[in-house]
């Protein structure tokens, strides 16, 4: 089992607080799958407005957490890390479904698997987020790494 602590995650993602949405990787198998965790805390900046009377993690941020897990899987598969000359883009979401709300105190388990070969630089993934074993969100994701012009 290949685990990653927060220091290793920071080495494999360009994201930083408040947009870093992966706290730990429990298992990653390059060219295959990743199981990561996002600990959902009431201290998250989005909870002050979404919603003050009933805090719920925005679905777009659950999808972003899944995309970040996919990015780690991509970089581990390629055997490299992000740099200042490239950026990892989230380019597509298919069939996103939200099955249950995610609230403060939940531990969001992010499961992402590569869904077929990389074509023209596009990675496809099957992704799901679970809380207490229950499906919270599922989607097909597409991501790519692009060179930043003028970098």
3-state secondary structure of 104: coil
* Residue 35 falls in the annotated catalytic set: no
Which residues 6+ apart lie within 8 Å of 49 measured at CB? Answer: none
With beta carbons less than 8 A apart as the criterion, state whether 84 and 130 touch. no
CA-nearest of 28, 64, 70, 69 to 46 is 64
Tell me the C-alpha to C-alpha distance, in Å, between residue 131 and each of 15, 58, 105, 109, 112: 23, 15, 10, 6, 15
Which entry of 15, 33, 50, 54 is annotated as an active-site residue?
A: 50
Catalytic residues: 50
């Amino acid at each position: 089992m290949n685990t990653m602590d927060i220091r290793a995650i920071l080495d494999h993602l360009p994201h930083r607080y408040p947009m870093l949405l992966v706290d730990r990787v429990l298992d990653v198998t390059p060219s295959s799958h990743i199981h990561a965790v996002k600990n959902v805390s009431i201290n998250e900046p989005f909870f002050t407005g979404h919603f003050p009377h009933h805090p719920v993690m925005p679905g777009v941020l659950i999808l972003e957490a899944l995309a970040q897990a996919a990015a780690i899987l991509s970089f581990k598969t390629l055997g490299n890390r992000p740099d200042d000359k490239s950026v990892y883009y989230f380019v597509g979401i298919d069939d996103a479904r939200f099955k249950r709300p995610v609230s403060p105190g939940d531990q969001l388990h992010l499961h992402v698997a590569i869904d077929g070969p990389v074509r023209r630089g596009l990675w496809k993934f099957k992704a799901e987020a679970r809380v207490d074993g229950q499906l919270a969100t599922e989607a097909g994701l597409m991501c790519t790494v692009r060179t930043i012009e003028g970098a």
